[in-house]
Amino acid sequence: MSKKMVIFTDLDGTLLDHHSYSWAPARPALEALNRGRIPVILCSSKTRAEIATLRDELQNQHPYIVENGAAVVIPYGYFEPAPDPEHPEKRSEQTVSFGTSRDRILAVLDYLKRQGFRFRSFAAMSAGELAQVTGLSEAAAVRAQTRTATEPLLWEADADSLEVFKAVLARYRLQLLEGGRFFHVMGFFDKADAMEYLLERYRIFYQNQDVVSVALGDSPNDTRMLEHADIPVVIANAVGGSLQLPNRGNAVYSDKKGPEGWNASILQILKESFPQAAQSTE
């Protein structure tokens, strides 16, 4: 049985530079994957609006995963024939949701704030403040605030208080995941759940081929996605302390950070594990 590779990638600090948000150093690998017709699934804590903008830049037409796995968004007619191809005005993306609502999360956070926990969430920041914290433009910061099922925050107290905060959130069936810049308050789902859903769709779609998943990430909130992939790739963290996957002996660890590490890792995987794909992308 022939193999079909599907790529799942984190964005900030992985495909995108931690500081500049540029993906340009990964261009050779992205072009190789495009020529090889290998899907690249963007999988991030970013919102639908943010990823939609990036997909336009990358000319990426594949499904994508938003808000740390809160939802999978599938383009119109991607896995099956479009239901109404003669009426493009009716075209829309299919959204499969896994998360709780942001309104409920904000209600819990408001209560915990009044109990004395010290943090600043996206909802408490103006677009200008968020732009200063993240290095985004104000327009991009507005897109980052259009969330539906998660809430990022900056923790402003000590580590002991953070552990208490996590325990209290769990009473409300919420968890706290650590990302590259922020902690993320969310329900009990993650990128791995969304990845598994899409992989099952791809297995049906590529019914006569063995689907092999490759996942790339750099932060703790990528851990389960990496552990569930056939080939996990840990990108060197831009601020130090790279992830370790002790139970995955086949894990690939990049020497370079961000998109440079992404580019080198993907090209090496193509060369070593998918010679046919590598030949088609030369």
- CATH classification at residue 117: 3.30.980.20
The predicted structure's pLDDT at residue 149: 92
DSSP state of 43: E
Question: How would residue 90 be classed by pLDDT, with cut points 50, 70 and 90?
Answer: low
Catalytic residue of the set 10, 12, 17, 222: 10
Q: Quick one: 120 and 87 in the same domain?
A: no
Over residues 109-159, the pLDDT tens digits come to: 999 999 999 999 999 999 999 999 888 899 999 999 999 999 999 999 999
- Identify the residue with better confidence: 89 or 158: 158
**Contacts (Cβ under 8 Å, ≥6 apart) of 64:** 41, 42, 43, 51, 55, 72, 73
Q: Quick one: 6 and 81 in the same domain?
A: yes
- Average pLDDT for the chain: 91
CATH number of the domain at 236, please. 3.40.50.1000
Can you give the pTM of this predicted structure? 0.85
Q: For the CA atoms of the chain, what is the radius of gyration?
A: 19
- Identify the residue with better confidence: 220 or 229: 229
Question: How would residue 100 be classed by pLDDT, with cut points 50, 70 and 90?
Answer: confident
pLDDT at 88 over 80: no
Q: Quick one: 35 and 142 in the same domain?
A: no
- Identify the residue with better confidence: 207 or 242: 207
The predicted structure's pLDDT at residue 50: 93
With a pLDDT cut of 70, the percent of the chain lying above it is: 93
Q: Please state, in angstroms and as integers, the Cα–Cα distance from residue 48 to each residue in 73, 160, 247, following that order.
A: 8, 34, 32
Q: Quick one: 162 and 233 in the same domain?
A: no
The predicted structure's pLDDT at residue 214: 97
Q: Please state, in angstroms and as integers, the Cα–Cα distance from residue 149 to each residue in 68, 186, 205, following that order.
A: 9, 7, 28
The boundaries of the domain holding residue 110 are: 102-186
User: Pairing between strand 175-178 and 183-186?
Assistant: antiparallel
Is 10 a residue of the active site?
A: yes
pLDDT at 178 over 90: no
User: Which of these three, 170, 186, 202, is where a domain ends?
Assistant: 186
